[in-house]
Structure 1
Amino acid sequence: MSLAPDRLARFARHIVLPEVGGTGQVALAQAHVVLVGCGGIGSPALQYLAAAGIGRLTLIDSDTIDISNLQRQTIFAPSDVGRSKAEVAAEWVQRFDLGLEVRALVQRVDQENVAHALSGATLVLDGCDNFATRLIVSDACVEARVPLTSAAIGRFQGQVASFAGHLPDQPCYRCFVGDAFDAEDCDTCAADGVLGAMAGMVGTFGAMQAMRVLLQGQAALGDPQFGKLHLLDGLAPSLRAISIVKDPDCSGCGGSKPA
């Protein structure tokens, strides 16, 4: 695949980076990223995934836009209140870059629809707001042998990591959190509050880590950092990383799973 002259001009600042280059830009153009959640994390992540030239995007969200979302979900406007987040996000992509393919799925991911929702993905970026969905997505990624980038926020704390639990030496998201959170029992932004800029920082960092995975083997940027959990503290501020090990007894990717 080669890039058309207008695409070369649009992504020139990527292409001159030795860590990306023309080969890396082509890899981004050929990628299909499934974004689970178009809210506080998904909104800024989508902006930079689209700006990077990710060729195909699937946007999944069952929620509608509320006036309180506008403080951090930066692709929406007051005129969008009451509309589907996934559909408005897809319209934003279409306005932003006609060269990208985008589809909206107005649904909540569950055991019945997850395989179809993730079909054909090169990578899944999960920025949803509950553990039940995150675990369903993680297990489906292992089953489909697709890498997962997970991004989460709680007040001024952010967590971003990429997982490849389908590989024999790599953990999945369930190795990290275990089975204890299959219920919908997590905290909410409505109850705890969230700073819009913090959501933006976590979302854009998630997009950066997703691009690392997409560029692995293509460019110097392509160290996927699988199993490395990045912890962001917005108050300090600080960033530190810890390694997650594969759980041989994990019900999502453990030793009973075929390689």
Structure 2
Amino acid sequence: MSSNLVAFIIGAGSNIGDAVAAKLREQDYKVALGSRNPKVDGKAKGHYFPVKVDAQSKESVLAAFESVSKELGPVNVVVYNVGGQYPPPNPKDFLSIPLDDYFKQSAVGLNAYTAAQAALPGFRDPVHKNHPKAFIVTGNILVYNWVSSALHWHTLGIQKTLEARLIATSAGAYEEEGIKFYYAFLVGRDGGIPDYDEEFLKSGPIHADVYWKLIDGEKKHWEQRFDLDGKKFPHEERL
């Protein structure tokens, strides 16, 4: 591979991660696929670099960036595609979530900061002077619907609130350097929470298309929401 374009997808799963990785490969990117248990089949071997990363651990995130930079070169695109939930063991007792588990789940949101800080030297590397530089978080609408959300979504909402705040601040802080930060997420056709089976599980291709346009296009508002048909929805100024 002769290209200097390097992308790192943290949370490279079978839906959004796979689709975004394939889109970036089409654009001559070397793509690192980060997950807890990375696997690359024979067909993909040679096109992608699998790297082990646990988004609950800042040490793991930092080690993964070091590995990617050593193997592929400085990163100019990062997709933080991580999320999880830990429902209360007792549905009638919200505060029954063990402290250790609550902090581990919150760390997924906090480590978006770790990833952004680790990505910055790559963004600033001279090799990427004329390349796009983007950090994209796969978000969701929970950052706005936290009051009405079911209890079992609480920890995921905490993650996304932390990530959205990070992106909102970073987008303005690094604008003059040409580094783009986005909190992008799928909504239902009515602008609300998308149906999991009928919309979210089919959303890989539209995520890939939207993310590529954010990476390669002119800078846009830090929050980007879209539906399965590619329709854009206006952002909200609540943060």
Residues 37 and 57 (structure 1), Cα distance of their counterparts in 2 relative to 1, 3 Å cut: same
The size of the alignment, in residue pairs, is 161
Counterpart for residue 79 of structure 2: 125
Distance in 2 separating the partners of 1:244 and 1:117: 34
Matched, 1:148 2:135: yes
Report the secondary structure of 1:93's partner residue. coil
Distance change >3 Å, CA 49–CA 168, structure 1 → 2: same
Q: Is the 8 A contact 1:36 1:59 kept in 2?
A: yes
Unaligned 5+ segments in structure 1 are 1-6, 8-25, 63-83, 177-188, 213-220, 248-259
Aligned mates of 2:4, 2:204 — CA distance in 1: 28
> Within 2, Cα distance between the matches of 1:34 and 1:169?
19
Across the aligned residues of Structure 1 and Structure 2, the Cα RMSD in angstroms comes to 4.2
Which residue of structure 1 lines up, in the alignment, with residue 23 of structure 2?
Answer: 48
Contact residue 228 and residue 241 of structure 1 kept, 8 A: no
User: Cα distance, 1:133 vs. partner?
Assistant: 2.3
Secondary structure of residue in 1 paired with 2:53: coil
The structural deviation recorded for 1:114 is: 1.3
Q: Which has the higher helix share?
A: 2
Q: For 1:180-210, what per-residue CA distance to the aligned partner results, in whole angstroms no more than 9, with x for missing partners?
A: xxxxxxxxx9x95453332331233223323
Residue in 2 aligned with 1:253?
Answer: none
Correspondence 1:12-31 to 2 at 5 A: 29-31=3-5
Query: Given the two structures, how large is their TM-score scaled by the length of structure 2?
Result: 0.52
Given the superposition, is the C-alpha separation of residues 106 and 136 from structure 1 closer, same or farther in structure 2, using an over 3 Å criterion? same
Distance 1:194 1:135 in 2: 30
Shift of 1:143: 5.2
1:45 positional shift: 0.5
Which structure 2 residues correspond to residues 109-258 of structure 1 after superposition, within 5 A? 109=55, 110-119=57-66, 120=69, 121-130=75-84, 132-142=107-117, 144-145=119-120, 146=123, 147-152=134-139, 163=167, 165=170, 168=173, 170=175, 192-193=196-197, 195=199, 196-210=201-215, 212=216, 221=217, 223-225=218-220, 227-234=221-228, 238-242=231-235
Contact 1:36/1:125, CA 8 A, preserved across alignment: yes
Match of 2:101 in 1: none
- Distance, in Å, in 1 between the alignment partners of 2:5 and 2:21 is 14
TM-score (norm 1): 0.48
Contact 1:123–1:148 (Cα < 8 Å) also in 2: yes
Distance of aligned partners of 1:50 and 1:43 in 2 relative to their CA distance in 1, 3 Å threshold: same
Alpha-carbon offset, residue 92 of structure 1: 4.1
Q: Distance in 2 between matches of 1:112 and 1:168?
A: 25
Q: Which residue of structure 2 lines up, in the alignment, with residue 87 of structure 1?
A: 39
